[in-house]
Structure 1
């Protein structure tokens, strides 16, 4: 437990669940973080020396510069770290001892490497028949590209048409995405797979291998558009904002250079209310906008009118007026607006983070809650090998055995030991 944190949630939902998180980067570790949020004892197994490369990803060009490894802290909170060389026979022997008492193993090691290391499900299930083996890959584990490596940007966004679908205009290049967007969606899927298998184990007493992958999650995210293609629909790129097909489902700018997305649904019912908000009731009689079909046919002209109106006042003004008529719209928040978002804080979507006092005081919460179940307080992510000695002692290694493993470089520890 990290410094200055509340007492551990020993009576939380998963307090008797042990999880080995031997995955790297984002989707696997984020799924493990959700399990940890609900009290699971999550052991982060990572290689000595550098550890999970995700520890350093915040330093990559294009990510917000910061001295805190913010992405690592978010997705590895409430875990214990064991720095263990799985490529060495002695390291694999330690891993096998851990595995015998584990409930869940999370892996995203490339399939070829798993076979080479002896980490495939068939290699491990005899050691623990009740084990839930959670496997995550880029393109799935069957088919000609099963062994192909991939990341969120390539396998989820690019491969599934998402990058192409969300381009802002037909002549614009495919949209670039920020780090981890698809990975965190995929983490929810992997978490759901694990929970389904755990429920099955309660019924049958048997463990199982469960699988998910980036490509499948991308297709699921883009499933409405993909299903249209499967049904033989014609596809055209979305027009630019200024020439959108529907002026009442569109983005608008205010005088203080903020944007909001108007969604006037149901349109026929809310159209008079919008005219009251913008004080242009006479447009109700304009033949170009008298019916829904007419408004869509003259969408470009209506966009021009609304552009001028919304640009005349600031966001606060329009928010008050739109809210008063209960008209659906969404202010486009900038990233720097999020920390002070009253609703995000009040709803628990942002939650306190302990152990990094003076550096970071909150983190993004996992997006699910169960009435009557308390989540474990979010505590800082571990240093590399911070719990190595503690964990080896728990599974019966003597002080002399531990010293030998450390001397051989099989296990690594750090000065900050739990």
Structure 2
């Protein structure tokens, strides 16, 4: 299928957002055919520099965060503090289908970029808003990042820590990318609404809301007054059959056996522990839970005798549910990640492979990733397509409204 045949081909998206969650939503729309125009201020999206500005990003000569989160976009630089630039943006809004914005409400109001403002310019526009904490409530105006709103405020960090230990610090943008998919879903619903009614609409999501949704089991339990103590360490787990184990070659396996009545015997056979099958200490699930530390010790000692590859074959042969705890450095050689379409080739010279968005369609394949734009690379081109004359473009450049 050609790019013009992609499901979102013909849609114009204004990505007036920064950092990761909202721009990543725009990436997904672009992957499936939309024309995404990145509207940046004079300093550019901070995501252009985040690899160097953040101590938590692996360093590389390739600006991979910018390439990943701005592939297939065009860039225009408008100084929206200037009236002429704000008027030029209205020209773009008038001919666009979707606007993605992650300014906090006070900034939107100051720039006249709230939904009610842009709706006057284009009543059919879909306005997609990403916030840290939601559109209402005492914290609506607070800026939020995924570490603070998605992970910390939602309870995810506390729910995952071991007893006596501090909450873990999440890796960069883990909550941002999950939240981006919620924003994409909201936009697609708005497109369906517009198809039925001809009307534009506001849609949105928040990092906090997505964090709570991801923490759903624990958070919903709390809503009915149910709590678990912090997770005990692996040597005395709640269940030895839902635990992590180290192999002889310093890899880690995650056992996740939900149907112990069905998989207890196969696990024992796979590990060469047939004597445990009828061992009265572990004969039933309540007994295995009561002696979880003792059983974990036996399993831990056994897993430590052989390398991961041995256990992978042995457990798989007996249909035992497990997963290897992959390291980031394993991703380039993960054949399954390539086979399922999660890692794909690009048309970016210095980044020949990238991560695909997680959507798969039986009737189309996503656009090949092309290089992310230089700052303001397409400004004049984008304005001329919106009907701005060459003389007006020259005037905007002269005033500094267009960079």
1:328 aligns with 2:308: no
Partners of 2:135 and 2:372 in 1: CA distance: 31
Cα deviation digits, residues 171-223 of structure 1 (max 9, x gap): 01011101100000100000000001110111111000011111111100001
Partners of 2:94 and 2:387 in 1: CA distance: 13
Query: Which residue of 158, 163, 186 maps to 1:164?
Result: 158
Q: Which runs of 4+ in 1 moved over 4 A?
A: none
1:315 aligns with 2:308: yes
Q: In 1, are the aligned partners of 2:56 and 2:172 still within 8 Å (CA)?
A: no
Partners of 2:56 and 2:89 in 1: CA distance: 36
Cα deviation digits, residues 52-85 of structure 1 (max 9, x gap): 0111111121210112221111111111111111
1:106 aligns with 2:100: yes
> What RMSD in Å do the two structures reach over aligned CA positions?
1.2
Aligned to 1:235: 228
Aligned to 1:120: 114
Q: In 1, are the aligned partners of 2:153 and 2:208 still within 8 Å (CA)?
A: yes
Partners of 1:84 and 1:104 in 2: CA distance: 18
Question: Which residues of structure 2 form unaligned runs of 5+?
Answer: none
Query: Which residue of 175, 197, 200 maps to 1:182?
Result: 175
Q: Secondary structure at the match of 1:141?
A: coil
TM-score by length of 1: 0.94
Report how many aligned residue pairs link the two structures. 402
Query: Which residue of 139, 144, 147 maps to 2:138?
Result: 144
Aligned to 2:284: 291
Q: In 2, are the aligned partners of 1:135 and 1:210 still within 8 Å (CA)?
A: yes
1:273 aligns with 2:273: no
Partners of 1:404 and 1:99 in 2: CA distance: 20
Q: In 2, are the aligned partners of 1:22 and 1:107 still within 8 Å (CA)?
A: yes
Q: In 1, are the aligned partners of 2:20 and 2:177 still within 8 Å (CA)?
A: yes
Q: Secondary structure at the match of 1:261?
A: strand
Cα deviation digits, residues 245-293 of structure 1 (max 9, x gap): 1001110000000001011231111111111111111112221111111
Aligned to 1:154: 148
Q: In 2, are the aligned partners of 1:156 and 1:218 still within 8 Å (CA)?
A: yes
How far apart are 1:395 and its partner, in Å? 1.8
Q: Secondary structure at the match of 1:125?
A: helix
Query: Which residue of 46, 52, 61 maps to 2:55?
Result: 61
Aligned to 1:366: 357
Q: Secondary structure at the match of 2:5?
A: coil
TM-score by length of 2: 0.98
Query: Which residue of 402, 407, 410 maps to 2:393?
Result: 402
Aligned to 1:202: 195
Partners of 1:185 and 1:72 in 2: CA distance: 18
Partners of 2:250 and 2:170 in 1: CA distance: 23
Partners of 2:233 and 2:132 in 1: CA distance: 32
Name the stretch that deviates more: 393-402 or 23-32.
393-402
Partners of 1:275 and 1:144 in 2: CA distance: 54
How far apart are 1:396 and its partner, in Å? 2.3
Partners of 1:403 and 1:67 in 2: CA distance: 36
Q: Secondary structure at the match of 1:326?
A: coil
Partners of 2:154 and 2:102 in 1: CA distance: 20
Partners of 2:279 and 2:365 in 1: CA distance: 56
Q: In 2, are the aligned partners of 1:9 and 1:377 still within 8 Å (CA)?
A: no
Q: In 1, are the aligned partners of 2:13 and 2:35 still within 8 Å (CA)?
A: yes
Aligned to 2:332: 339
Partners of 1:204 and 1:123 in 2: CA distance: 21
Aligned to 2:185: 192
Q: In 2, are the aligned partners of 1:193 and 1:210 still within 8 Å (CA)?
A: yes
How far apart are 1:8 and its partner, in Å? 6.9
Q: Secondary structure at the match of 1:86?
A: coil
Aligned to 1:416: none
How far apart are 1:87 and its partner, in Å? 1.3
The aligned runs of 1:7-18 (5 Å cut-off) are 9-18=3-12
Partners of 1:15 and 1:90 in 2: CA distance: 30
Partners of 1:284 and 1:372 in 2: CA distance: 49
Partners of 1:61 and 1:336 in 2: CA distance: 18
